[in-house]
Amino acid sequence: MFSKKTLMIVGMAILAVVNIVVLSVASNRYASLGSGGIAVVLVAPFQKVVTNSIRFAGEIWGHYFFLVSAAKENDNLKKALNQATEKNNELSEFEISNRRLRNLLNFRKTVPHMILSAELIGRDPSPWFKTIIIDKGKADGIAKGFAVVVPEGIVGQIIHVSYHYSKVLLIIDSNSAVDALVQKTRARGVVKGEPTGLCFFDYVLRKHEINVGDTVVSSGLDGVYPKGLRIGHISEVVRRDSDIFQEITLVPFVGFETLEEVLIITNPPNEDFESHR
């Protein structure tokens, strides 16, 4: 089977040849009879048809090449757009990463402890256990019980260490407990994790004035977290006449779902963090 392109070329060639032959025959025939005018009258309509056909075919052919050229140009523009979009995305990610790292660096300057940065490389898939895996371990001087933080607040503590990796128990895990106090009133309690992503501020005596929005910080008395590290803000307070403790719900300052880098405090919390802020 011939392609449309081939048939078009052959058709144009045939029309051109027929036109030349007819003109040549008619011209010779009628020239010998001295009837040039008659030859023109007889041949002109046919020549007009052939000429118009050739012109029409040429226009189609030119239009075809224009469409092909436009299609190629469109493909090139799409490729250029995709490359530009990809480059823009890379630059955006680079800018976001730089912003996070600058925040970590600025935070490190305010902490009177030895700090080691680490990258999050895994999460516990279970909805009941809130742990993460980081890319630092015994080879980096990491030990069980080290506190893990970010500029926003406390993340958790190291509970398992291998040579190059460590597991961190987040403060929103139900097995976590942080000795804490209300920053404004200094009322003490224990922050315990909850699988929903919130925390409970337990063992706060009913006599203490606690308000929604109050900031809760670490007390430094648990031997894990330095004093004064931010934990979260109080979102709900329930006081019952029959209980000696208040029921307090706390929202952590740390966005655990978006964690990418963390800081590990590698020396014992023997200094007051609040005095250095």
CATH number of the structural domain spanning residue 214: 2.40.10.340
Residue 96 lies in a domain: yes
Q: Which residues of the chain have pLDDT under 70?
A: 1-66, 84-113, 268-277
Token pair 């040039």 is at which residue? 36
CB 120 within 8 A of CB 109: no
CB 151 within 8 A of CB 111: no
Name the CA dihedral angle for 165, 169, 171, 175, rounded to a multiple of 10 degrees: 180
Residue 41 and residue 135 share a domain: no
Question: What's the confidence (pLDDT) of residue 60?
Answer: 67
How many residues are present in the chain? 277
Q: Which of 155, 173, 172 is nearest to 118 (CA)?
A: 155
Tokens 């501020």 sit on residue: 201
Q: What distance in Å separates the CA atoms of residue 124 and residue 75, rounded to the nearest whole number?
A: 44
Q: Evaluate whether 199 touches 250 at the Cβ level (below 8 Å).
A: yes
Tokens coding 118:
């680490």
Nearest CA to 277 out of 235, 224, 239, 228 is that of: 228
Task: Give the pLDDT score at 81.
Answer: 72
| Predicted local confidence at residue 67, as pLDDT | 72
pLDDT confidence of residue 142: 93
Q: What is the pLDDT of residue 80?
A: 72
Taking CA atoms, 216 is separated from 49, 103, 158, 209, 210, in Å, by: 94, 21, 22, 13, 10
Whether residue 264 sits in one domain with residue 207: yes
* Eight-state DSSP code of residue 277: -
Over the stretch 174-203, which tens digit does the pLDDT of each residue have? 999 999 999 999 999 999 998 788 999 999
What is the count of structural domains for the chain? 2
Same domain, 75 and 180: no
In three state form, how does the secondary structure of 14-81 look? Answer: HHHHHHHHHHHHHHHHHHHCCCHHHHHHHHHHHHHHHHHHHHHHHHHHHHHHHHHHHHHHHHHHHHHH
Torsion angle of the four alpha carbons 24, 25, 26, 30, in this order, in degrees rounded to the nearest 10: 110
Among the candidates 90, 110, 130, a domain finishes at 110
- Residue pair 229/155 in contact (Cβ under 8 Å)? The answer is no
pTM passes above 0.95: no
Domain that residue 14 falls in: 1-110
127/80 same-domain check: no
Can you give the pLDDT at residue 77? 74
Does residue 12 sit in the same domain as residue 96? Answer: yes
Residue 126, pLDDT score: 80
For residues 266 and 138, membership in a common domain is answered with: yes
